[in-house]
Structure 1
Amino acid sequence: MKNILGLTALATLTCAFAAEAMATEWNVSVWGKRRAFTEHVEKLAELVSEKTDGEFTMNISYGGLSKNRENLDGISIGAFEMAQFCAGYHRDKNRVITVLELPFLGVANLEEEVAVSSAVYNHPAATDEMAQWNAKLLMTSPMPQYNLVGTGTPRDELAEFEGMRVRATGGIGEAFKAVGAVPTSVTSSEAYQAMESGVVDTVAFAQHAHLSFGTINRAEWWTANLNPGTVNCPVVVNIDAYESLSDAEREALDSSVPEALDHYLSNYGQLLKKWDEVLEEKGVEKVELSDEVIAEFRAKAADPIRENWIAEMESQGLPGQELYDLVVKTLADHRGGS
């Protein structure tokens, strides 16, 4: 009887260890703090855990695993299984998706941003380039058009951008450079300090980032309608980790992406509705630039930067024109179907 009891206990213990060993736990590297920009990552983790009865979980770290500019490197060596990064942080490593950061693409809302990002992410050139870093593009982090906050006299004429020191990355930085501004690519976490110390005069962010990183607290004005473009910040997974998932785990992850993005869009929509209240509460002047000024900005920045980007990509063996045309076609198709 003792032997039977002992064997039963051993079998139970073995099963418990086996069940524990079967559980999958991923580390996820993001930065800053939980905010609108990370809500789809949080929702994804929640959904995956629910769908697998807690057998597949994600530990989301806000800066504890890596610096934001090093997240793609961390993915490439398997330091963690999932990460978020922005294309402008290392344009040479993710050239294909920088098409989404070209200025004045005409993307009107977050739904359109999801559509064009998904189209580019699924292009073979994007898949192949990310595979060089052992990374698989999972989903975008859609953001509205960037706008400036600044101090002092509002800049609502293009001539006033001459010499303006602006925190701006990627295509947005190139756009401001085209009209005489001086862009700097300090990280989002460093933007407040750069503004406070006078390293920059203005900061270009989406609304959530002006709130999360405190730049709105130093602002005296906000350009409500400049809309020069946005940045593209994908969430990627380590390919080896993705392929090692069971079929059920992979299905739980893949099927949760649309749900996570829907949650993100809903959450961000609520933030945008409250934005005018935030400006009023903090005493920030809302600056509307004239159509003529915006047209002048677009003429100086959009066409030359786009043509240079296409030529540069083609010279490196990448389908620059095809990628740009894909964005234009996706926008037209999305609008036609909505």
Structure 2
Amino acid sequence: MVPELADLLATARVVSLPMTTRFRGITIREAVLFEGPEGWTEFSPFVEYDDAEAASWLRAAIDFGWRTTPTSHRDRIPVNATMPAVPARDVDAVLARYPGARTAKVKVAEPGQTLADDVARVRAVREALGPEGRVRVDANALWNVDEAEHAIHALAPFDLEYVEQPCATVDELVELRRRIHYMGIPIAADESVRKASDPLAVAKAGAADLLVVKAQPLGGVHAAQRIVAESGLPAVVSSAIDTSVGIAMGAYLAAALPELEFDCGLGTAAMFVNDVTEEPLRPENGSIPVVRPTVSTNRVDALRADADRTEWWLDRVRRCHRIVEHSVAL
């Protein structure tokens, strides 16, 4: 069911959340909140995405706000700390925002930085977590195969849990996986799932050992759940730097998976100075609860985007709604 555009716009609230640290090149995260029959939901595709890609995020918002969530297998989700491409000296301060986290995902391959910067950051994370901690790295598809092979060799001494999206294409991932197979370091696919015309292509090609899935880009909890089931691969559920409403969407997805081998990237409410609820889904004892946050009118009012940004986002909702309606009509 696709709600009428008027129903979406009637409850739409555009918010602008300041972040504690620059991430993905941004310091402010914007989102649209809607209130559906099932509760509050979120539409927050990154501003550079075109309407065709952003429409999947609106499908996800509708799915979470207007459809009952799948059966849950757990009521709390273990989460990892998310380490931006900060200097090694700032690692301890970032980890302190994720109390109890036993796992850290470390951003690497940041434009303008060097492999030496990555090594120093990953070393600092490993030292902070100790030998029992889990360290995974995420290159966001910014290495070619040779660069990835070289970087993984340099980072291997820190006992990597896996390397997320080291290269951009499925063919590159296949080749890299062949080259580093003897090292026993798994490859995870993120962009090759959520930005692909066929999110199962990476699994069909044997290009990854596990999938990183995000509810909003994949069209919602139910769609992402089907992708994981059809892939036959283990999955890590992650956020797309959502508000606590969007993180709740990811938590319900993680709760619906029969197996959850890896800590999930759903602790990212810790990256915001403020949030849209009085009880943000920030990590406690290394996990977050599977709940729908109660959106605070006072907080939403305080975080309200200005008039120009509000109209920009509402126009985007209108355009994406037309795409979603058209796809359902076909």
Q: Report if TM-score (shorter chain) is over 0.5.
A: no
Please tell me the TM-score bracket, short chain as reference: under 0.3
Looking at secondary structure, tell me which structure has more strand per residue.
2
Looking at secondary structure, tell me which structure has more helix per residue.
1
- Calculate the TM-score normalised by the size of structure 2: 0.25
